[in-house]
Amino acid sequence: MLTASPLSPLSPLCARQRAAGSTTLLLVGTMLLLVAATTAAGFHFLLSARQIGAYQLEREIAFRAAEAALLDAEADLLLALRAGATGADARLAAWPPPGRCADGAQRGLCRPAPGVPPVWNDWLDARGSEADTGIVVGTFTGAALPVLPAGVAGTAALPRYVVELRHERPPGEWLTPVYGGAGKDTSPRFRITALGTGRDRAVRALLQTEFQP
């Protein structure tokens, strides 16, 4: 007559081998998780560094474009002052009413008014259209941005500027410098505001200066 015998317990050697296998599997799984986490962190770091580098490049392009517009505006004013204000087509023959900008031969010239936001205020909104304000580089000087070599990043749009009259004198008197007491110079003063954009036109740089020739 056959009788069932109970299973014999694992030998100490087999128990140790099974425990060692479990420990090894746990270590391998932990190492794989660490490698995956390290790889993900490294990829995120590289991506962030690339984004930061690209943004810095965009800012640099926008700044250089605005700088070119600022210099062109100064050249524009110097040429206009040298030419004088004779004839309706003279650049500085007339200024618009307060709070308005001129057109025609005087386009790009604006006259601020108390309590009215400056015309370049719209440039502060990266979602707005910059083409509605000011004039582009070279409009009156004939200057042009340098041609960049192939593969070199440049601005996606020509930089612009506006010129605002910063003093009030009777018409016809403001073109010639006037010297008051103690040699005080009251020559005309202007505020130039220039806008440059990067390859991404939402990245903008505004430069502003007070110009007194």
Per residue of the chain (213 residues), give pLDDT as tens: 555 555 455 556 565 656 666 677 777 777 777 777 777 666 565 555 555 556 788 999 999 999 999 999 999 999 988 876 666 678 887 788 888 899 988 999 998 888 889 999 988 887 767 777 899 999 999 998 877 666 666 777 899 999 998 876 655 454 554 444 444 555 678 999 999 998 888 889 999 999 987
Q: Is residue 31 part of a domain?
A: no
Q: Is residue 43 part of a domain?
A: no
The two tokens of residue 153 are: 């990043």
- What is the number of domains present in the chain? 1
Q: Going by C-beta distance under 8 Å and a sequence separation of 6 or more, which residues neighbour residue 137?
A: 68, 69, 72, 143, 144, 145, 158, 159, 160, 161
Q: Is residue 44 part of a domain?
A: no
Structure pTM? 0.69
Q: Is residue 172 part of a domain?
A: yes
Q: Is residue 13 part of a domain?
A: no
Domain that holds residue 97: 61-211
Q: Is residue 37 part of a domain?
A: no
Bridge partners of 206?
A: 195
- Identify the pLDDT of residue 71: 95
- Identify the pLDDT of residue 13: 56
Q: Is residue 42 part of a domain?
A: no
Q: Is residue 80 part of a domain?
A: yes
Q: Which residue has the tokens 């206009």?
A: 80
- Identify the pLDDT of residue 159: 94
> Rounded to whole angstroms, how far apart are CA atoms 99 and 106?
15
Q: What is the DSSP letter of 149?
A: P
The two tokens of residue 179 are: 């010297």
The two tokens of residue 168 are: 């009030």
